[in-house]
Amino acid sequence: MATRSADPKSTTGTQPIDAVSLAIIEQLQEDGRRPYAAIGKAVGLSEAAVRQRVQKLLDQGVMQIVAVTDPLTVGFRRQAMVGINVEGDLDPVADALTAMDEVEYVVVTAGSFDLLIEIVCEDDDHLLDTINKRIRTLPGVRSTESFVYLKLRKQTYTWGTR
């Protein structure tokens, strides 16, 4: 296991995460089904202590433990990144986008777009309907630019403890 510096990483609006919690996160990123006893052995804690720390990290929203799929294999044939420019306050638009099932993530950005979102759709018709009838019609949306994914080359979630 990689060693960590003494400086803890902090998350926005929460307490800094200590080196042991980071090591637990690293273990779970390698295998989200790894038993707490095995994690405890790797990080120097009891199984019960690992269970408590994992629950605290989940409760604080620091991490999620989920099954990550390849959208193509579960019936979603079209993915796109959409850049959005907004007039006025970004928050209502970001909140509306966050509520849409097709939207996987919403990022407030600096640069050419105010917001970047990733959407996952069943097919081209679903993508067109989502962009044209649901996103572009939101109050405050000035313009959109879509970047349709042709092929997914890399999708990992191991950056969380670097």
Tell me the pLDDT tens digit for each residue of 97-130: 999 999 999 999 999 999 999 999 999 999 999 9
Give the per-residue pLDDT at 147: 97
Whether 92 and 131 have beta carbons less than 8 Å apart is answered as: no
What secondary structure letter does DSSP report for 33?
T
- Between 14 and 39, the more confident residue is 39
Give the per-residue pLDDT at 1: 33
Give the per-residue pLDDT at 159: 66
pTM for this one? Answer: 0.73
- Read off the pLDDT band of 8 (50, 70, 90): very low
Cross-strand bridge partners of residue 80: 119, 148
Give the per-residue pLDDT at 67: 82
Count other Cβ atoms within 10 Å, centred on residue 23.
Answer: 21
Buried b (16+ CB within 10 A) or exposed e, 108-133: eeeeebbbbbbbbbeeeebbeebbee
- Between 2 and 85, the more confident residue is 85
Average pLDDT over residues 9-20: 65
Percent of the chain's residues with pLDDT above 70: 88
Residue with tokens 């759709």: 121
Average pLDDT over residues 22-32: 91
For residues 109 and 106, give the distance between their C-alpha atoms in angstroms, rounded to a whole number.
10
Average pLDDT over residues 41-50: 96
